[in-house]
Amino acid sequence: MASDSSEKNMTQNALSSMFNWMPTCALIIDSNGIIQDVNQKAIQFFRATTKEDFIFDKQNLSNMIVDSHRAHELIKLIAKSTDMINKEILIRRFDKTIATVEFYACHFPDNTSHIFIQFAERKSHSHVYMYELSDAFRHEVQRLKPYLNKPGKSILEEIIITDLVEGIVSNKTSKQNQVAVMTEERITQLTKLFPEFSNQELVFCSYLSLNMSIDEIASITGKTANSLRVSFHRILKKTNFATGKEFTRNLQAIK
């Protein structure tokens, strides 16, 4: 019996060592998305200091995925599925930078309450892929048309006509109002909560509802962080919230 126990411990130690020094980023979560373990590559990728940044603070994977609503749905899907899940998502690192990653997730055969995730950063996309993405974006934003007023529909037409891919390839920042993050459900919820907000204010709030910082929103919209802070305080005055933190927490609660 002692020999069996010793052999089991050696096997566990070997597996732990292999996991820690895998050449790709890997982590282990439970069925609720709480991170249980990370390897060295993941610590480097997330730009954390030590493994304790994840474990002791009980970090949830959903907090690191940019779209919190999709994050919760994704974790539910992984927890229920018996197959390997492969997705491409946007991840937020500890220094607030965002990266595109492709990841694979599956349950451990001998412990279904724990899920193994392996992922790699996507460095770049081909122009073909970008044009396909741009076309898909145009089709998706057309679905917003019935929910917009006349000025909003004009802005929508400008967005659809603009060649986003050429702007990206030429490293030109598009300053058009960007509504890609606004699903129909999100628009409906924001409009019901804040019917007095303008379309631009609703777009701004949609980014805030995704737990994005002012600097991140500035980099996406092409506006300066200072101008967005002024807009934020102007919007806050239209609400009954005592502080900006209370307002953003309310926005981030939107699912």
| Residue 214, domain CATH | 1.10.10
- Looking at the structure, tell me whether residues 140 and 208 fall in a common domain: no
How far is it, in rounded angstroms, from Cα 48 to Cα 145? 42
- Looking at the structure, tell me whether residues 103 and 191 fall in a common domain: no
- Looking at the structure, tell me whether residues 114 and 133 fall in a common domain: no
- Looking at the structure, tell me whether residues 97 and 30 fall in a common domain: yes
pLDDT in the model for residue 190? 85
pLDDT in the model for residue 182? 55
- Looking at the structure, tell me whether residues 36 and 20 fall in a common domain: yes
Bridge partners of 108?
A: 111
Q: Which two tokens stand for residue 86?
A: 């492969």
- Looking at the structure, tell me whether residues 154 and 82 fall in a common domain: no
pLDDT in the model for residue 130? 56
pLDDT in the model for residue 168? 45
- Looking at the structure, tell me whether residues 29 and 117 fall in a common domain: yes
Residues in CB range of 25: below 8 A, 6 or more apart: 39, 41, 42, 45, 101, 118, 119, 120
Local structure of 65: helix, strand or coil? strand
pLDDT in the model for residue 172? 42
Q: Report how many domains make up the chain.
A: 3
How far is it, in rounded angstroms, from Cα 34 to Cα 114? 10
- Looking at the structure, tell me whether residues 8 and 32 fall in a common domain: yes
By residue range, what is the domain housing residue 239?
Answer: 181-255
- Residues 10 and 94 sit within 8 Å (Cβ to Cβ): no
pLDDT in the model for residue 181? 44
C-alpha angle 30/34/37, rounded to 5°? 80
pLDDT, tens digit only, all 255 positions of the chain: 445 555 545 445 545 566 777 788 889 898 888 998 888 889 988 888 888 888 766 688 888 887 767 788 888 888 888 888 898 888 888 887 878 888 899 988 777 788 999 988 876 555 555 555 566 666 667 777 787 787 777 776 766 665 554 544 444 444 444 444 456 677 778 888 888 888 888 888 888 888 888 888 887 777 888 888 889 999 999 988 889 889 988 888 877
- Looking at the structure, tell me whether residues 28 and 84 fall in a common domain: yes
- Looking at the structure, tell me whether residues 32 and 91 fall in a common domain: yes
- Looking at the structure, tell me whether residues 41 and 95 fall in a common domain: yes
Domain boundary among 96, 121, 146: 121
- Looking at the structure, tell me whether residues 17 and 87 fall in a common domain: yes
